[in-house]
Amino acid sequence: MRTPEPLAHPLEPKVWLSMTQAQLDWAYDQANHAPNRVEVLKNIALKSERSRSKVPQALRLSYGPSPIESLDWYPCGEAKAPIVFFVHGGAWKSGTAKDNALQVHWLHAMGCHVVIPDFDAVTEVKGDLSHLAAQVERALLYTFKQAKNHLANPERIILVGHSSGAHLSACMVTRNWAQQGLEKNPIAALLCCSGMYELEPVSLSARSQYVNFNPERVNDLSPQRHIECFQMPVTLLCGDKESPEFIRQFESFAHALTLSNTRVKTHLVKANNHFEILETLFDEHSVHAMALRDLVLQMRGV
């Protein structure tokens, strides 16, 4: 059963839209909206293990100088195959590549490479989200540059993320790739599930207790403020049992992308909370998986 929303006293100040501090904190804590969270996360880890067991062992490759800066690369035998680059969630402070490999088996069967990076928890780097964004950028740049060495197609990278990983994935679209020596953005398509795309309300919530927000960081890492960067096909998903703020973020970002003429598809998935919608990625016939399959087929020109 969900934790009920805190009641507001008529004179209690509003900190974001019509919400009090307690209501905003409630809205950005997914534990309040997913009473089965612990059980589902265990299932996700178990299903990731099952998925990994069905494919050749991943290559463990270093993309940066620190020990955590490594990624799992699941190669396929098909030349010039697309790459699905998956960024895991975990409120920016938990999660691993190996426990977020739900989709590896059916993507491998489709002839895709799958790359899943590890990166620091924000709590280990003094709350600096920019540090995490820079790590994911390095991992993506490494993947782009190494693609041909693994018989993959660097022009067909599909970036996928869930929760805080969806936020970091959307941030990758807004990075200065010319500064990294690339002629264009390396992301051919984007799929974001259950993400946050405007950090102002997040910075006002209890998440500020472990994330070091400041105006410059909020602006730089709020993808919705850089909507002109989104020139590739974008797919957005959210569960209809998620926090009302996460649903609002999903709808607001989709609306902004639509106004900018971005090719965007949206799916509000019925009967799924924040964690259940990720678990469905194991099933290749789920809404989540089919949305990803659609992008893979687009990359193949089908």
Q: Could you please report the per-residue DSSP string of 208-261?
A: GGTS---HHHHHHT-GGGGGGG--S-EEEEEETTS-HHHHHHHHHHHHHHHHTT
Closest CA to 177 of 197, 160, 157, 196: 157
Tell me the two tokens of residue 69.
């800066």
Q: How far apart are CA 6 and CA 3, in angstroms?
A: 9
pLDDT at 1 over 80: no
pLDDT-derived band at 78, boundaries 50, 70, 90: confident
Closest CA to 287 of 218, 199, 194: 194
Distances (CA, A) of 299 to 80, 95, 250: 11, 28, 24
Q: Which residues pair with 105 in a beta bridge?
A: none
The mean pLDDT value for 85-96 works out to: 98
Q: How many residues does the chain have?
A: 302
CA angle, 173 then 86 then 282, to 5°: 140
The mean pLDDT value for 149-153 works out to: 95
The mean pLDDT value for 40-61 works out to: 98
Q: Is the dihedral of CA 243, 174, 84, 156 positive or negative?
A: positive
- Write out pLDDT tens, residues 3-17: 999 998 888 999 999
Half-sphere exposure of 86 (CA within 13 A, CB side): 29
Tell me the two tokens of residue 218.
């909020």
Closest CA to 187 of 158, 165, 162: 158
Q: How far apart are CA 94 and CA 75, in angstroms?
A: 25
Averaged confidence pLDDT in the chain: 96
Longest dimension (CA), the chain: 64
Cβ-contact 71, 63 below 8 angstroms: yes
Distances (CA, A) of 255 to 48, 224, 273: 33, 10, 22
DSSP state, 272?
Answer: -
pLDDT at 302 over 70: no
pLDDT at 300 over 90: no
Share of the chain above pLDDT 70, in %: 100
- Write out pLDDT tens, residues 238-282: 999 999 999 999 999 999 999 998 899 999 999 999 999 999 999
The mean pLDDT value for 102-118 works out to: 98
Cβ-contact 128, 55 below 8 angstroms: no
Tell me the two tokens of residue 273.
């909370």
pLDDT at 215 over 80: yes
DSSP state, 151?
Answer: T
- Write out pLDDT tens, residues 171-213: 999 999 999 999 999 999 999 999 999 999 999 999 999 999 9
Cβ-contact 122, 103 below 8 angstroms: no
pLDDT reported for residue 77:
83
- CATH class (in words) of the domain with range 31-300: alpha beta
Q: Which residues pair with 86 in a beta bridge?
A: 160
pLDDT at 301 over 80: no
